[in-house]
Amino acid sequence: MSEAHVVHLGNVDLITGLPNGPYRVSGSGVNGQGNRWFCVVTSEGRGYRYLNKNGSVYYRSRDGASYFNNGRGSFRYTSPTGVTVWNV
């Protein structure tokens, strides 16, 4: 996975470098652990992406699917129905 970046294009912010991206940013902030979060708009609706200080990435979609990448090649995907796939 390539490193995620926020790109500013006029008055639109995009997150690049994530699976199935880029994503248009509709809100952002920093959580209590110091990790950057973004509310993004996809073809499925809004979802959340976290770009963590340790290099990992987490996202959760409106349909309940989630994805975690530890930034070192391992990932976990959980489908909206709860089926989890690991790549360790």
CATH number of the domain at 45, please. Answer: 3.30.1120
- Amino acid identity of residue 55, one-letter, is G
User: Three-class SS of residue 87?
Assistant: strand
Q: Can you give the pLDDT at residue 27? A: 87
- 2-6, 34-38, 52-56: segment of lowest average pLDDT: 2-6
More confident position, 55 or 11: 55
How sure is the predictor about 43, in pLDDT bands with cuts at 50, 70 and 90? confident
Residues 50 and 36 sit within 8 Å (Cβ to Cβ) = yes
Residues 6, 24: Cα–Cα separation, whole Å: 10
Domain residues for 55?
Answer: 5-87
Our count of domains for the chain comes to: 1
